[in-house]
A and B are shown apart, each in its own frame.
Chain A
Amino acid sequence: AQSVAQPEDQVNVAEGNPLTVKCTYSVSGNPYLFWYVQYPNRGLQFLLKYITGDNLVKGSYGFEAEFNKSQTSFHLKKPSALVSDSALYFCAVRYNFNKFYFGSGTKLNVKP
């Protein structure tokens, strides 16, 4: 079955520390993977995607994600967290034509 999982409902990190938001997927064929961010009272914004190529993908606002085929993971990372990074993060996988599964979301709290 095609799916995507975000195992952590919430991640807490201190400002300046590295952050990781986890995502694992299950999809037949080559995965097309995405990260989106949602700030309060706003729609989702695209951060980055992996379609093919280099396993380390760089995106907006200093975020990057590492595709790991053997572990079926696509974790979102940032070397140094900012308070303004506090938001809800969604991982997504394309599974058919233009259909996407979204994870349940991970709330990132960055404390000063």
Chain B
Amino acid sequence: DVKVTQSSRYLVKRTGEKVFLECVQDMDHENMFWYRQDPGLGLRLIYFSYDVKMKEKGDIPEGYSVSREKKERFSLILESASTNQTSMYLCASSFEGSYEQYFGPGTRLTVT
């Protein structure tokens, strides 16, 4: 079974802190994604990566950056956390060309 793991299930941070969310997949998938999930808005794509060191902006990249130094690991970085970044963050991965995404369990981030 494909496994996508996220470093934390719950995280509480203060405004202005730098926040790292880590995601690891074990199926050698080329593509990895970061979404945020908010009630009534569904999932919105923040960034995705199609290869090591390669990334593309999604629909809501402002306030976020990403890093992919190894194929299996994709990190989401909040340079200076703000309260409007309180949300559920979901990581996903997929093989190139399959379009079927495998999701991690999510990290619920609260910024106070």
Contacts and interface: CB of A to CB of B under 8 A. Distances in A.
A94 B105 contact: no
A42 B106 CA distance: 7
Interface residues of A, number: 24
Given A42-B105, A43-B90, A90-B42, A99 B99 contact: no
B42 A102 contact: yes
Given A32-B99, A43-B104, A46-B101, A102 B43 contact: yes
B90 to A, nearest CB: 6
Contact of A98 (B31, B41, B43, B103): B31
A70 interface: no
Contact of B45 (A43, A46, A49, A100): A100
B44 A102 contact: yes
Given A43-B105, A46-B102, A104 B48 contact: no
Contact of A90 (B43, B59, B105): B43
A44 interface: yes
A28 interface: no
Nearest to A91: B42
Interface in A78-112: 90, 92, 94, 97-100, 102-105
Q: How large is the interface on B (under 10, 10 to 19, 20 to 34, 35 or more residues)?
A: 20 to 34
Contacts of B59: 99
Interface in B55-107: 56, 58-59, 90, 92, 94, 99-106
Contact of A104 (B42, B56, B99, B100): B42
B50 A98 contact: yes
Given A98-B99, A99-B48, A104-B40, 15 more contacts: A34-B99, A36-B101, A41-B105, A44-B90, A44-B101, A46-B100, A90-B42, A94-B99, A97-B50, A97-B56, A99-B58, A99-B59, A100-B101, A104-B42, A105-B42
A90 B38 CA distance: 13
Contacts of A36: 101, 103
